[in-house]
Amino acid sequence: MIERDLKLKEDIAEFIGKRMDRIADKQDKDRKNTNKEIIKIHSRLMEKIAPELREDLFELQEAYVCAGALEGEACYKQGLQDGMKLALGVIE
């Protein structure tokens, strides 16, 4: 029973990851424009800062991206749980 529950959790986590990737691939126009602007600003900064600071900037950027991804995943999971609770409440 415990192995089956663990497998189910793994399957759900995999589904969520794949679904989030598909959603991210279908970015709307505003988000795409924002990402382009981020890339432009990043390029300008890289030209202006000392080479020894670039690694720190990359690490900071990675940390922000990771935090955003974790937040997105948490929101997606909570939305899924809320939807399931709502559906079960309607069935009862």
* pLDDT for the residue 40: 93
Cβ neighbors of 82 (< 8 A, separation 6 or more) are: none
Return the residue matching tokens 């990675």.
Answer: 62
Q: Do residues 17 and 74 make contact, with C-beta atoms less than 8 angstroms apart?
A: no
Q: Which amino acid is at 12?
A: I
What are the pLDDT tens digits along the chain (92 aa)? 677 777 887 888 888 888 877 877 777 777 788 888 988 998 998 889 998 898 898 899 899 989 988 998 899 889 988 988 888 888 77
